[in-house]
Amino acid sequence: MIRLTEYLPLIEGVNWTPALSPETVEIEGAYVCDMLSDVMGSAKPKQAWITIMKHLNVIAVASMTGIPVIVFSKNNVPDDAVIDKATEEGIVLVSSPLSSFDLAGILYKLLAK
């Protein structure tokens, strides 16, 4: 298990939900997928969700599944309505310039330490 704050500097992560505190978010793994039903069927609570999808429905999916943080790869930036909804639901949103592959690899290494 790691804290989100340990991961963010390694991925040049930008936190779009400053009202939520990333230091309280604990991560035990990640699920990398852009198909929402696959995420709901297989992701687990305490996993980060790495994806390029950034419309409003991803917040509902994360909320239903118990996912605490979504990491948008390749500089995908959510719009304000999505950020507001995420803040309301307590889901941290992070953007990174890295690819989903690199984001997963870096997290995997960090967790294996």
Partner 1 sequence: MQACVAVKYSMADYWNIAPGMENALKECFSRDAEADVTLEFSIPEKDFNNAGKGSSEVKNLLKRLGVDSEVLRRIAVASYEAEINVAAHSHGGEMTSLIYDDMIHIKFIDEGPGIADIAQAMVPGYSTADDLVREFGFGAGLGLPNIQKNSDALHISSAAGESTLLEFLVFFAQ
Does 57 contact partner 1 by CB under 8 A?
yes
In the complex, least distance from residue 49 CB atom to partner 1, rounded to whole angstroms: 12
φ/ψ (deg, to 5) at 15? -90, 120
Does 56 contact partner 1 by CB under 8 A?
yes
φ/ψ (deg, to 5) at 9? -65, -25
- Cα-only R_g, the chain: 12
CB nearer partner 1, residue 5 or residue 54: 54
Cα separation, 34 vs 27, in Å, equals 19
CB nearer partner 1, residue 10 or residue 40: 40
Question: Quick one: which of 55, 74, 79, 99 contacts partner 1 (CB under 8 A)?
Answer: 55
Does 105 contact partner 1 by CB under 8 A?
no
Are 25 and 8 a contacting pair, CB within 8 Å? no
